[in-house]
Amino acid sequence: MQKLTPFRVAVADHAPFMRRLLGEALLVRGIEVTGAVDSAEAAIELCGRTNPDALLFDIVADTMDGVVLMRGLREAGLSTPVILLGGHFRADHYKVVDALIEGALDFVERPLACDTVQVFVSELIARIRVASDLTAARQRALDLASQRELHGLENESDSASALRDPSRDGPGAVVVVGSLGGCWSLSHLIPALPPLLGLGMVVVQQLPEGFTTALADRLDHYSVLGVKEALGGEQLNPSTVYFAQGGSHLRMAGDAKLLVSVEEPIDGLRPRADVTVSDAARIFGDRLLLVVTSGMGKDGLDGAREVKERGGRIIVEEELTAIAYGTPRAIVEAKLADEVVPLGELAQAVADAAGVWGASIPLPSDYASMTSNPESPS
């Protein structure tokens, strides 16, 4: 729904020049600037006082700490969507990822030259619109949940059918897909998983090249599972989570070997979640679990249809815990979801569905022989 009143945006940047540039660029485009400050602490105070639709927060300078910002906003009871203004260097990638893990909505790389400022501002405005829409959608979801609770109605997840039994049917493979807000979801899901999970897990999280490396490194530090960016040639295994590289598709061969592909982007996306999910569905059939976390758009929907056609199962993150509910909603509305689960319960649901190695599921001596339908990607 198009917002009828002007967007209201707060700006936090260490450089007076950028604060002035951003303020003027937004004002001439009809966006109200509620204030411009130069620190995380001042930004938290500004958001509490002016309640903007979004906060633009520069993280390039050492004094601008995105983690401090996000934690401070939560402590203050504020849910202001945060759009990060990032840099182009490797260290900046880690700063952006750290803030995304803490719940920042999105990021835009700062312009390198004056002639790219107009493109930069256009990207910012597009993200501000998304932030405002998401805030309105979250409020509607909260209102609906309150009404359902008031009238004693069941949640969607209450009527979900029972998941497969890995101890009887054998362990399963897991593919997780996400985009906008997905880093927050992954930071709660992956560190809570057991050290040996099913047949293994791959993740397709929409991020540019370099940022997936930083995300995998950060999650590896906090997880008992190993977390790595797939380089190609790895064998899917129960002890490691593999991330699709930003800027490359992640394919899967019939022996569950991971392949990195630089085929053309599909609808502007590379990696494309549908590509990975379809490969996995062909290989694992009814032993595949697809997990759909926070995200926008419909990447993953076509793959989800193939998962269901081949007998696999799909778990979707609940709207109240997802930062963005576009992709999960597409799966639910297509009636493809077997279970809708809040983020705090997602790790247990994944472990239950995929299986945890132990007394009931012995570790196989030859993992590759467990793939039920060896087909190479087309």
CATH number of the domain to which 184 belongs: 3.40.50.180
Nearest to 175 by CA among 377, 330, 312: 312
Q: Are residues 62 and 133 in the same domain?
A: yes
Across 74-87, b (16+ Cβ under 10 Å) vs e yields eeeeeebbbbbbbb
Domain enclosing residue 21, as ranges: 8-145
Residue 356 or 100, more confident = 100
Instruction: Tell me the whole-structure pTM to 2 decimals.
Output: 0.88
Q: Are residues 120 and 172 in the same domain?
A: no
Confidence label for 228 from pLDDT (cuts 50, 70 and 90): very high
Q: Can you tell me the mean pLDDT for 87-93?
A: 84
CATH number of the domain to which 126 belongs: 3.40.50.2300
- Lowest-confidence pick of 105-114, 169-178, 227-236, 260-269: 105-114
Q: Domain count for the chain, please give it.
A: 2
Q: Are residues 116 and 49 in the same domain?
A: yes
Q: Are residues 34 and 170 in the same domain?
A: no
Percent of the chain with pLDDT strictly greater than 70: 86
